[in-house]
Amino acid sequence: GAVVSQHPSRVICKSGTSVKIECRSLDFQATTMFWYRQFPKQSLMLMATSNEGSKATYEQGVEKDKFLINHASLTLSTLTVTSAHPEDSSFYICSARERGAWETQYFGPGTRLLVL
């Protein structure tokens, strides 16, 4: 099946710093990528949807200036958490939808962010 990777798998940073998380589709072209956040014992919450070459669409309540999303190519999307604070500590998961296959959605393994 299609593979989606994320890097890093976990990151610890100091409050106020910025953290970049990469999401790559390894063997297919992803025209759409999604970013989710998941708190302990809760389900995934969609943060934003990004289509290659266009600006991301953010869900209500998600600050676009804090969570910067770039989808510069068909295989790479990045999420940058700017000026991270402890409340941003969470599990961030990306998923990718293959070109022409809108029914499918492949998830990455997730990135655990801990802000001290």
Residues near another protein (CB under 8 A) are 1, 4, 6, 31-32, 34, 41-46, 49, 91, 93, 95, 97, 102-110, 112
Residue (16 or 102) nearer to another protein, CB? 102
Taking the complex as a whole, the smallest distance from the CB of residue 102 to another protein amounts, in Å, to 4
Contact at 8 Å (CB) between 57 and 38? no
For residues 19 and 94, which CB has a smaller minimum distance to another protein in the complex? 94
Tell me whether residue 44 or residue 74 sits nearer to another protein (CB atom): 44
Rounded to whole angstroms, the Cα distance separating 66 from 106 reads 25
Strand-strand pairing, 30-38 and 45-51: antiparallel
Q: Do the beta carbons of residue 69 and residue 77 sit within 8 Å?
A: yes
